[in-house]
Structure formats: C-alpha cells, structure tokens
Amino acid sequence: MTADTRRYLGFREAVGLIAGREIADQLRDWRILTPIAILTLFFPLLMNFTANKATSFVAQYGANVVADRLIPFLLMVVGFFPISISLVIALESFAGERERLSLEPLLATPLTDGQLYLGKMLASLLVPLMAAYLGIGVYLLGLALTVHWSAPPSLLAQVLMLTTMQALVMVSGAVVISSQTTSVRAANLLASFVIVPMSQLIIGESLIMFWAQYAVLWWIVFGLFIVAIILGRMGMHLFNREELLGREIDVLDIRWVWHHFKSAFIGRAVGLGSWYAGVLKVSVPRLWPSMLFMLVAMLGGYWLGIRMAGQYQIPPDLLQADSIKVDLLNQMRNFGLMSGRGWWLVLANNLRAIGVASLAGIFTFGILGVILLMVPVGLIGFFFGNLSLAGFDAFRYVVALVVPHGVLEIPAAILAGAAILHLGMSLVSPPSGESLGESWLSALAEWCRVCLGVVVPLLAAAAAIEVFVTPLVAALLLGGG
C-alpha cells in the first residue's frame, strides 16, 4: 500500500468518524427523530390521500390531465419536506456545539479542517436524505395500492436527483453559515439566504411540472450540482478552526463597515479626475474575464431567442410589422416619449433592471443576475427571429430599432453583469488575508465604482438616444416600406 493510499484512507476514515459521531447524536435526539418520522411516514400518506381524492374529483369532469400533473408534483414535495430538516441540523452543526461548549475539544483534535468540515456536512446530509428516499418510497407504494399509478423511470430518476441536489445545496449553504456565526440564533437569521432561493426554486419547479416540461428539470439538477460545488469550495476555503475558536461574538460594527467600504470605493484618488482614472484603468480592466463571460452569455441568449422563435413561431398576421411604419413619430410624440419625461422613464427602467439583477446576483453568486440581463437580449432574438421567419427584413429592423442606442446600452449591460458576477463570486473565494466580510465589502465598492462611474453614464446616454434618435432612425429606415 502506497503512502498516498494510506493518506487517502486516513482522510476518509477521519471524515467517517466525525460523521458517525454526529449521526449517533442525531438518532438519540427525539427533537430530530420526531419531525423526521412524521415527514417520512405520515406526510407521504397524507399526500397519497390527497392524490387519491384529487384524482377521483377531477375524473368526474374529465380533467384527468390535472391528476397526471398533480401526482408527480406531490412526489417532489414528499421528497423535499424531509430534507428541510437537514437545514436545521446543518445550521446547528458548528454554532450549536459552540453554545454547548463542546466545540473546543473537537477542534483540538489532530483532525484537519477539511476532515472536520466534510464530516459535519456529511452528517447533516445523510439522515434527512435517507428519510426523503423512504418517504418517496412510502408515497409510491401508497399510489400503487390505491390509484394503481407508478412513476416512469425517467421521472423517478429526476425527482431523486432533484431531492439529492437540493439537500446538498441546502446543507452546503447552512454549514457555511454555521461555521461563520457564533450562535444558533444568528445562524437561523442568516438562513434566509438559503431558504428564500430554495423556496423560489420549488415554486419554479412546480410550474415546470404542471406544464409537464420535465426535460428542464435536468438543467435544474445540473445547476444545483454546480451551486453545491461552489458552496462546498467556499466552505472549505473559509473554514478555519483558530478563527472559529477566537471569535467571541458577532458584532455589526457600522463604523468599520463604512470605513472599509469608503476606502475601497475611493481607492487612492485625491479628486474626481483621479477617481475616474482609477475606475477606467483599474476597476474595469479587473473585470475583463467577467465581461468576456457576459458577452458569451448574451450571445447565447440571442441565439437561444432565435432558436425559440423556430419552435414557437408567431403567426405573420399577428406580428403587424408594417404598423411600425405608420406615423411612427406622431405616435411617439402623442405618448410623450420623445421628451425629457420619456428619457427619464427609459433610464429608470434600465436602472431598475440593473438593481434587480444585482440583488438577485447577491443570493446566487451572480448567476441569476447574469440570467436576468440575458432575458432582454433573448427577447430581441425571439422577436427578430419571428420577423425573419415571417419574411420581413429582420436585419433592417435590428439596425432601426436596436443599434442606435444598443451601441451604448449593450456594453453597459455587459459591464454591469460583469460587476454583478464579481460581486457574487467574491463570497466564494476571498483573497488571502481577507475575511468574508472584507472581501464582499471590497467587491461591493467595486460594483458601485463601475456602476456609478461607467454604467449609469452609458445608460443615461443610451436612454437619450433611444428617446430622441432611435425613432428618427426607425422612421427613416422603416417608413419607406
């Protein structure tokens, strides 16, 4: 046996030792076993009763499709509720032991930080996940005996993978929170950063299942797997036993937060000119990798919009593209769009979109922010793809309706998306020597520098062109037939 093999076995055995200790404690705690038992045995029976009654009810009105969509949805719900216990266990993993004064002896062992962290995460995951699998089995058995329904193998595989990936993401996020807080109360308050995104994801999955677009679920599984890897890497990077032992209490020092943010925002500037020079020469070049990623994402969104146009073609008589040629300028003036008011409405809408994308990016490591900024480009591709399929000169419409203000608006969106991605990813791998809070505040200051210094001026100029110039170009290029 080689030295590498012995080292690997030692690492695996140490992780298993920590996980076994935690699982044994969980199986002795009735406060954990009781909700798991209820959600594993009683809840699937309740869902089975619900499915049976719903099937009988809708069959009276010939709406069997409702039952066909409801039963798989309840299958997903049955798997999700037991793994919600994993969030509670994971939040308590480090913070709870610290409050019980049992963390210090554990951290004093010769185990590495990686062994401790992975052991805790594995222990938080296994029992709830096994309970979820058992609950799914109970639900399927009940359906087979009552309504004689069995899950297609592909659907069952999707539900099992979704349940596994959701549990892994929740546990990974919760263990990160627990390792960075000093009390269970603080960990529970920060759990909203896990609960809110997961609840929105469940809503989205339910809509997908009711529309029977099951192929989309595989993309969700893949996305959750990537998020789980990011959270796992983030937790391993941030976990430090010395820091965890030395931190006495979490205190929000507003003065320190402001000074750190202000220092990162101003940099070494001594005036507005040198500040702008720093933004253009330091902040923007720092975002080049993220900007390249955003460019590829937007091109992908445009391509996806064109592909969707081929699948969901709008009837040519509904496009009414010729209406763009009829009295375009008068219509713009009648609605008051070719004015300062119109400029402000366009600018405010674009700023609101950037703000929403930034907020969403904070919760999703920047990914959801990128997706939200891709949507308008995808809609443009969808619209012009339909124009092309209907026989219109789509290129001329692109030049007339998008290019005049798009030459500024699209680079602004790319730069804003890059700053959002940088802000979101700052949580994953803080620079050496910086804490998580310091890294995020520095990235937030960088986001503010780029948005205030470059993105907002570009959007203001693009809004002016969109209101005062684009209609003239559109009337010139489209008005002649």
What is the band of 325 on the pLDDT scale with cuts at 50, 70, 90?
Answer: very low
- Structure token digits, residue 11: 């690492």
What is the band of 246 on the pLDDT scale with cuts at 50, 70, 90?
Answer: low
pTM: 0.71
Answer yes or no: do 208 and 170 share one domain.
yes
pLDDT digits (tens, 9 = 90+) for 272-304: 888 888 888 888 998 898 999 999 999 999 999
Answer yes or no: do 240 and 259 share one domain.
no
- Split into its structural domains, the chain has a count of 2
Higher per-residue confidence, 298 vs 439: 298
- Residue after which a domain boundary falls, among 187, 219, 246: 246
What's the confidence (pLDDT) of residue 7? 47
Answer yes or no: do 214 and 319 share one domain.
no
Q: What is the mean pLDDT of the chain?
A: 79
Answer yes or no: do 349 and 230 share one domain.
no
Looking at residues 107-118, what average pLDDT do you find?
Answer: 75
What does each C-alpha distance from 103 to 1, 11, 242 come to in angstroms? 34, 20, 12
Q: At what angle do helices 470-478 and 403-425 cross, to 10 degrees?
A: 130
What's the confidence (pLDDT) of residue 9? 46
Looking at residues 244-263, what average pLDDT do you find?
Answer: 71
What's the confidence (pLDDT) of residue 47? 76
Q: Looking only at Cα atoms, what is the longest distance across the chain?
A: 84
pLDDT digits (tens, 9 = 90+) for 38-49: 777 777 777 777
Answer yes or no: do 445 and 372 share one domain.
yes
Answer yes or no: do 213 and 118 share one domain.
yes
pLDDT digits (tens, 9 = 90+) for 334-368: 555 566 778 888 899 999 999 999 888 887 778 88
Looking at residues 204-222, what average pLDDT do you find?
Answer: 83
- Structure token digits, residue 263: 């220092």
Answer yes or no: do 362 and 300 share one domain.
yes
- Residue after which a domain boundary falls, among 246, 276, 300: 246
Please choose, from the candidates 4, 19, 17, 144, the residue with its C-alpha nearest in 3D space to the C-alpha of residue 75.
144
Task: Evaluate if residue 36 carries a pLDDT over 90.
Answer: no
* Domain of 128, in residue numbers: 3-246
- Residue after which a domain boundary falls, among 246, 271, 305: 246
pLDDT digits (tens, 9 = 90+) for 377-424: 998 889 888 888 877 777 887 888 888 889 999 999 999 999 998 888
What's the confidence (pLDDT) of residue 348? 92
pLDDT digits (tens, 9 = 90+) for 157-193: 988 999 999 888 888 888 888 777 777 777 777 777 7
State the DSSP string of 117-139.
HHHHHHHHHHHHHHHHHHHHHHH
Answer yes or no: do 230 and 290 share one domain.
no
* Cα 79 to Cα 287: distance, rounded to the nearest angstrom: 41
Task: Evaluate if residue 5 carries a pLDDT over 50.
Answer: no
Answer yes or no: do 184 and 289 share one domain.
no
What's the confidence (pLDDT) of residue 4? 46
Answer yes or no: do 231 and 265 share one domain.
no
What is the band of 16 on the pLDDT scale with cuts at 50, 70, 90?
Answer: confident
State the DSSP string of 43-82.
HHHHHHHHHHHHHHHHHTTT-HHHHHHHHHHHHHHHHHHH
Answer yes or no: do 295 and 219 share one domain.
no
